[in-house]
Amino acid sequence: MKSKIAIGADHAGFTYKEAVKTWLEQQGYEVEDFGTYSAESADYADFAHPVASAVEDGRAERGVLVCGSGQGVSITANKHQGIRAALVWAPELASLSRQHNNANVICLPERFISVETALHCVDIFLHTDFEGGRHARRVAKISC
């Protein structure tokens, strides 16, 4: 079994959350799903905080969050000191978020990308290493 991934979404990200969850499980990852569990209206913070907490305290190696724009879950997750949540809508951003920012949560905008792009971005996010070096100095300055 590969590492554990925390996942969550509001109603606007529910469909992609389910697709990403299925894909992750098929790849051998253990997935902890923090909801939502339907497309009924729900508040993104109710799912972003538990995902961020799971990554922050080490219960999950990385997190995946989805909402309509990706903004709400990103803003919420980044309130946690140990989280570097990156809003990603293209494969290049997925790799750079890991290489340069050591992002540990990927935030996806369901209303603006295809499910294929979302899955490709998650794959890149999970398989790209942090480069360290000059980027480590910069990342160390993020938390106050």
Query: How far is Cα of residue 101 from the mean position of the Cα atoms in its chain?
Result: 13
- Closest by Cα among 40, 30, 18 to 119: 18
Query: What pLDDT, on the 0 to 100 scale, is given for residue 1?
Result: 64
Tens of pLDDT, residue by residue over 35-80, are: 999 999 999 999 999 999 999 999 999 999 999 999 999 999 999 9
* Cβ pair 102, 75 in contact under 8 A: no
Catalytic residues: 67, 100
Tens of pLDDT, residue by residue over 71-127, are: 999 999 999 999 999 999 999 999 999 999 999 999 999 999 999 999 999 999 999
Q: Does domain 4-140 have CATH number 3.40.1400.10?
A: yes
Per-chain mean pLDDT for the chain: 96
* Cβ pair 95, 127 in contact under 8 A: no
